[in-house]
Amino acid sequence: MEELRSQATSLFATACRAADPAHALTAALETMPLPRPDPGGVYRVIALGKAAIPMAERLLQVLEGPRKVLVITNYENARDLPGATVCPAGHPVPDENGAKAALALEAMLADATSADRVIALISGGGSALVPAPVAALTLEDKAEVNRLLLSSGFEITEMNFIRQQLSRLKGGGLLRAAAPAPVWAYILSDVIGDDLRVIASGPTVAPIGTRAEAQALLRDRGLWERLPAAAQRALAQDAPTADVLPVGRNLLIGSNRKSLEAVRDAAGPGAVIVDDRLTGDVGEAAEKVIAAAQGAGPGRACLVFGGETTVILRGNGLGGRNQELALRVAMGMPQIGRDWVFLSGGTDGRDGPTEAAGGLVDAGTIGRIRAAGAVPEELLANNDSNRALALAGDLLVTGATGTNVADVQILLLGS
């Protein structure tokens, strides 16, 4: 069992390395080389997201000519970067530092000219990091909307659809702020399916939909009446249509699928990607993993999954989607006649508002929780997966990885 646990953590590290932002950007610059500013122009570099530091660091190594560089990332990944202004901000719930970072971004682009070239380095997490509320909406209103969406089972596409309608920078807002300067965007995807409109809420692409459609979705989910009044008023108004969205050049440089393929290749014979869209309700996702284990043939095997599940909060416990998925698999896995381990982790190194990246469970997990004097069913009902896995010694703790391409799940089966 210990051998399987060690292999699982090693394979997860492989998944994170495959999404290394600096490596991905280096390869991308060969596909879409940096444009040169016109005479008198400068580079204006905006690095936004959990992978902003390594992406900006790599760009600065190859960028020639005058430049202004602004890096906005989460607190865990923030560090000094010579040649750049670094703005740490809150994630997943926006905070005051994020609001200040958004203003700094807008100020940097306010006097951009057509001679300049704006380079946007975008990665997951960017949506929460630059809250730029539309008029009459406060930062507290935006944070409350975020909390409601995170706790109500909204998938990332749905969440970012709503966020776009309440922000000056999302849904193509960065393109408007940069005009008339042209924008080149290099994008590391944390979204399953790699929809550029969803990654960081699409600052360099058109929005997912309209405010009327956002309002309809919220009403359908029973969330409309719980929104702050200012958010209701904003979504009830027609969005400005006076200006046509400027065109940006966007290139996808890395994704969850690439990380899954790296795990499969590293695991060798017997490894297979079972599902690269493990999304939706975390309970249903656990059932898919368990079914895959039951259906696996004899011999050692590595079954790989990727995606981003959702959790509906029914209690006041602490956890995240990966920890809850791991706990649910541990509780639901029947006797299959051989050793097994299951790892579910966020490639950014953080799962929910915890220090863990996820969980690493095996056939002994539930017994260890009970031996510690706790009832796993009660902990799960309270959404307290963090405590449950901590009691079992099964938290996956990696620290910040500097990247973010959604979640990876690895199920290893012994012979």
pLDDT in tens, 316-338: 999 999 999 999 999 999 999 99
Do 173 and 119 belong together in one domain? yes
Least confident among 242-246, 370-374, 388-392, 393-397: 242-246
- What is the average pLDDT score of the chain? 94
Q: pLDDT value at position 243?
A: 55
Q: Could you read off the pLDDT of 211-236 as tens digits, one per residue?
A: 999 999 999 999 999 999 999 999 99
Same-domain status, 323 and 278: yes
Q: Are residues 221 and 320 in the same domain?
A: no
Of all residues in the chain, what percent carry a pLDDT higher than 70?
Answer: 99
pLDDT tens track for 247-259: 899 999 999 999 9
Final residue in a domain of this structure, among 254, 285, 306:
254
Residue-wise pLDDT for 94-108, tens only, equals 899 999 999 999 999
**Domain termination site, one of 205, 230, 254:** 254
- Using only C-alpha atoms, the chain has a radius of gyration, in whole angstroms, of 22
Together in a domain, 296 and 240: no
Q: What is the pLDDT of residues 283-310, one digit of tens each?
A: 999 999 999 999 998 999 999 999 999 9
pLDDT at position 242 over 50: no
55 shares its domain with 198 = yes
Among 254, 281, 308, identify where a domain stops: 254
Q: Which residues span the domain enclosing 350?
A: 2-13+257-413
CATH number of the domain where residue 337 is located: 3.40.1480.10
**Does 44 share its domain with 174?**
yes
Q: How many domains does the chain have?
A: 2
- One domain for residues 266 and 236: no
Examine the domain organization and report whether 369 and 282 are in the same domain. yes
Question: What is the pLDDT at residue 135?
Answer: 85
Q: Is the pLDDT score of 240 beyond 80?
A: no
Q: How confident is residue 176, by pLDDT bands cut at 50, 70 and 90?
A: very high
CA distance 185 to 250: 5
- My answer on whether 304 and 350 are in the same domain is yes
